Structure 1
Amino acid sequence: MRTKQELTEAIRRDKRVVLLVNAHSRRGQQLYEAARKRLVASRFDLLGAYRIDRPQDLEDRLQDALALSPDLLVVGGGDGTISTAARLLAHRDVALGLLPLGTTNNFARTVHTPLDLDEAVATLVDGKVIDVDLGEAGDMLFTNHVGIGLSAEVMLKAPRPLKRVLGRFAYPLTALGLLLRQRPLRAVVRADERKHVFVTYQLYVANGGFHAGRPITADAHADDRLLVAYPVGGRTRLGLLRETARNAATGHRRTLGDEPFLATGELWVETDRPARVEVDGEPCGHTPLRIGLHANALRLMAPADTPDL
């Protein structure tokens, strides 16, 4: 494995890049060709370019891309696409470059990647390689979060046309439609030799600093060796709605020391009945579940001023 500085220098010198864009992400179909042209204009040696029109082809095309031996794999898509790429790049001597083309782009926000396409490409040209943590839910690595309960139902049932039109606002609208058919979970979280019990419609475990395009807290990020578990609301539907609004409005000024956040390196989640689980927007079975961390598992091309712990 090269050092981060050596990999940064290799990318700037040799510019060996492969591009992969998920056309099913919110802006992927619209911006694939623009992304390809901008990489060529930036004098990258484009070893290959893949537009993914069928989601089931994503992992195979990622493997094809890695077989070309790039120093930088540039992936355009939403959190699910980027999380899939991160799993394949974990512990490899290849950096991941981000083109945030999804609905909420939580991981890109966490690592300070610009959401504008031109600025994101400029980060690939002028940025530096850092390493960030990956979470692990069961045996599935993830970049940003695990959702247990209502959010998993929403991810499965949010209509794609609604996401294309409304972006991140498609999720709360879908949640409102599902909420009347849900009942709260009794969730037991075991961490650091302590047991925490929550009665809630929704439990999250975050590796990054954003959820639904909003900050979780002011001091959560993807390189702090911490997972952050927290319920949203209590046993009433009104409490869920109130807490969701509060989180969206105040996340930027809350800290990990505030209630109800539980910051830890590893935890186990059990619920009073099997509850659906989603990992970065992708289905991941049911509870019970162990969630842990792989520290510094992913190399990432980030803006040059990004802190690297």
Structure 2
Amino acid sequence: MRSKTELQEAIRRDRRTVLVVNTHSRRGRRLYETVRARLAADGFHLLETFPIERPDQLPGVLEAAIALGPDLLVAGGGDGTVSEAARHLAHRDIALGVLPLGTTNNFARSLAVPPNPVGALGVLTGGKVADVDLGQAGETIFANHANVGLSAQVGLRVPARLKRHIGKSAYPLTAVARLAWHRPFRARITSAGGELEVVTHQLNVVNGRFQAGQPITRDATVDDRLLHVYPLGGQRRRQLLSASLRQALAGRRRPTAPPFLATDDLLVETDPPLPLDVDGEVHGRTPVRIRLLPNALRVLADPSFVDS
């Protein structure tokens, strides 16, 4: 593995890059040609470009892209696309460049990558290489979150057309529609600090500062060597409704007090066993061990990003 400085110099000198864009995402189809032309105009040596029409193509395309031996792999799409790219690049000597073309863009926000294509392309040109953390839930690596509860239903059922028209607000609105049928569950969280129990409709385990497009707390970062665990609301439906709308629509930060739990390794058990929402897709069920993978991914971040 090269040092961060060596990899950064190689990217700026040789610009050996592969572009992978989910053209089925909210803005991917419209912006793919623009992004490709801009990268070429900025001097990037595009070894290959891959427009992805179907999500099931992505793993195979990422393997083919990595086999080309780039120094930089640019992934354009939503959180699901970025998370899949992060899984493939974990522990590799290739930097991930993020083009946030989705709805919430949580991982990009954690890297201080602007949500607009012009700003994000600027990070690819003038950004710095940083090492950041990933998480792992069971056998599945994730970039942003592993959640239990209502979000597993929302992620599967939020209408694509609604996401295109109103963006990240589609998630709380879909949650409101599903909430009437959702039942609270009891969760036991075991970590080095002991055991905690909570009854809730939603338990979030987050890597980084953002969830649902909004900051969860002031001091969380994507390289703080911690996963942040908290219930969103309590066992009553109105508590979850209030917390979800406040976080996703009003954009208010959670209180300045520490999150519910900050740890690097935990076991989540629920009664009853429930599906696990890993970066927007269902992967496995509880009980599940969730752990931190420190410095597992190399990324191109905004120069303002504090790399600890």
Question: What is the TM-score when the length of structure 2 is the normalising length?
Answer: 0.97
Runs (5+) with no aligned partner, structure 1: none
State the Cα distance separating 1:243 from its structure 2 match: 2.1
Aligned residue for 1:94?
Answer: 94
Distance 1:300 1:152 in 2: 28
Aligned residue for 2:279?
Answer: 280
Q: Secondary structure at the match of 1:306?
A: coil
Cα RMSD, aligned residues only: 1.2
Whether 2:184 is the aligned partner of 1:178: answer: no
Aligned residue for 2:55?
Answer: 55
State the Cα distance separating 1:304 from its structure 2 match: 1.8
Letter in 1 for 2:269: E
Q: Secondary structure at the match of 1:241?
A: helix
Distance 1:95 1:67 in 2: 14
Distance 1:254 1:218 in 2: 9
Aligned residue for 1:268?
Answer: 267
Conservation of the 8 A alpha-carbon contact between 2:145 and 2:205: yes
Aligned residue for 1:210?
Answer: 210
Aligned residue for 2:290?
Answer: 291
Letter in 1 for 2:285: H
State the Cα distance separating 1:253 from its structure 2 match: 6.2
Distance 2:164 2:147 in 1: 22
Whether 2:18 is the aligned partner of 1:18: answer: yes
Aligned residue for 2:166?
Answer: 166
Whether 2:9 is the aligned partner of 1:9: answer: yes
Identity of aligned residues (%): 55
Q: Secondary structure at the match of 2:19?
A: strand
Whether 2:39 is the aligned partner of 1:42: answer: no
Aligned residue for 2:70?
Answer: 70
Conservation of the 8 A alpha-carbon contact between 1:20 and 1:52: yes
Distance 1:209 1:269 in 2: 21
Distance 2:266 2:254 in 1: 25
Conservation of the 8 A alpha-carbon contact between 2:247 and 2:254: no
Distance 2:251 2:15 in 1: 41
Aligned residue for 1:221?
Answer: 221
Conservation of the 8 A alpha-carbon contact between 1:80 and 1:280: yes
Runs (5+) with no aligned partner, structure 2: none
Distance 2:24 2:147 in 1: 22
Count of residue correspondences: 307
Q: Secondary structure at the match of 2:253?
A: helix
Conservation of the 8 A alpha-carbon contact between 1:217 and 1:251: no
Distance 1:76 1:82 in 2: 7
State the Cα distance separating 1:211 from its structure 2 match: 0.8
Question: What is the TM-score when the length of structure 1 is the normalising length?
Answer: 0.97
Aligned residue for 1:120?
Answer: 120
Q: Do the aligned partners of residues 157 and 209 (structure 1) sit closer, same or farther apart at CA in structure 2, a change above 3 Å counting?
A: same
- What does residue range 177-256 of structure 1 map to in structure 2 within 5 Å? 177-248=177-248, 249=250, 251-252=252-253, 254-255=255-256
Distance 1:276 1:178 in 2: 16
